[in-house]
Amino acid sequence: MWTKETELELRKLVKDSGVKLLEENLVQGTWGNISVRLDEDHMLVTPTGLDYNHLQPEDMPIVQISDPSVWSDGKKPTSERKIHAAVLASRPEINACIHSHPVFATIMASCRMPLPAFTDELQEVMGGEVKVGAYGLPGTKKLKAGTVEAMQGRNACFMANHGVFCVGKTMEEAFNVLRVLERSVYQFIQNNTLKRTGAESYTDQLLFDQFIKQHKK
């Protein structure tokens, strides 16, 4: 059983992590959600639909991992808590999860394209190719199952037409996974744009022009 002191520290950690997602442009608005393990069968999660800047540590509900329909304290938990619970249950070494919608990684998720481990950093941080979880509507069993399957042996996955899910032994490790993923996807997009266009240097305008060209065909 966790101590009250530990719980207060983790509540503040979740609050500060939500603000950090906004500050680093790794999420848009109130989208995304965060969880941190309290013990083997309990986690703190972000509540549904609230601005990260306005969240207070006491707003975070405690959710049972083995049955995420059971929760106490705080405000109503995110509808994606079942995904967090399933990942934490299947990965006892993991203590923090971030579901988010960073710009470039979300583009990749929308394309339903896996990201090959084309750098040593990706191989080390992600554990290999970043896979795409099967599509499912938010809060559904299909989305949960697709995410859990794509996360097997990996520290991140794309959620088809949705966003990304990243994990770590600590919250800072989960943030590092998310940062590396977003940075690597942007690099992957640049590399492929240069390859397709034959240009010597990349700009976002070059990517935009190529996109328009392809969709005019």
**CATH number of the domain bearing residue 176:** 3.40.225.10
Q: What pLDDT score was predicted for residue 175?
A: 98
* Other residues' Cβ atoms within 10 Å of the Cβ of residue 103: 13
The string of DSSP letters for 5-74 reads HHHHHHHHHHHHHHHHHHHTT-S-TT--EEEEEEETTEEEEPBTT--GGG--GGGPPEEESS-TT-EESS
Task: Classify residue 191: in a domain, yes or no.
Answer: no
Q: What pLDDT score was predicted for residue 217?
A: 60
| Residues 123 and 186 sit within 8 Å (Cβ to Cβ) | no
Residues contacting 177, CB < 8 A, separation 6+: 98, 125, 126, 155, 156, 166, 167, 168
**Residue 68: what residue type?**
P
State how far the Cα of 80 lies from the Cα of 46, in Å rounded to an integer: 10
Tokens 């203590």 sit on residue: 95
Task: Classify residue 98: in a domain, yes or no.
Answer: yes
pLDDT tens per residue across span 21-36: 999 999 987 789 999 9
* Domains held by the chain: number: 1
Q: For residue 145, which phi and psi values (nearest 5 degrees)? A: -65, -40
| Residues 35 and 43 sit within 8 Å (Cβ to Cβ) | yes
Q: Which pLDDT band holds residue 61 (cuts at 50, 70, 90)?
A: very high
State how far the Cα of 187 lies from the Cα of 178, in Å rounded to an integer: 14
- The percentage of residues in the chain with a pLDDT greater than 70, rounded to a whole number, is 99
State how far the Cα of 169 lies from the Cα of 36, in Å rounded to an integer: 10
pLDDT tens per residue across span 132-169: 999 998 888 999 999 999 999 999 999 999 999 999 99
Q: What pLDDT score was predicted for residue 30?
A: 72
Domain with 74 in it: 4-181
| Residues 133 and 71 sit within 8 Å (Cβ to Cβ) | no
Q: What pLDDT score was predicted for residue 33?
A: 95
49 sits in the region (left: phi over 0; alpha: psi -120 to 50; else beta) called left
State how far the Cα of 145 lies from the Cα of 150, in Å rounded to an integer: 9
Task: Judge whether residue 59 has pLDDT over 70.
Answer: yes
Average confidence (pLDDT) over 107-133: 96
Residue with more model confidence, 204 or 123: 123
Task: Classify residue 193: in a domain, yes or no.
Answer: no
Name which of 2-11, 46-55, 128-137, 166-175 the model is least confident about: 46-55
pLDDT tens per residue across span 163-210: 999 999 999 999 999 999 999 999 999 999 999 899 999 998 998 888
Q: Which pLDDT band holds residue 51 (cuts at 50, 70, 90)?
A: confident
Q: Which pLDDT band holds residue 63 (cuts at 50, 70, 90)?
A: very high
Task: Classify residue 199: in a domain, yes or no.
Answer: no
Provide the mean pLDDT of the chain: 94
Q: What pLDDT score was predicted for residue 119?
A: 96
State how far the Cα of 69 lies from the Cα of 91, in Å rounded to an integer: 20
Task: Classify residue 38: in a domain, yes or no.
Answer: yes
pTM of the model: 0.93
Task: Classify residue 84: in a domain, yes or no.
Answer: yes
Task: Classify residue 200: in a domain, yes or no.
Answer: no
Task: Classify residue 214: in a domain, yes or no.
Answer: no
Q: Strand 71-72 relative to strand 163-168: parallel, antiparallel, unpaired?
A: unpaired
State how far the Cα of 155 lies from the Cα of 165, in Å rounded to an integer: 8
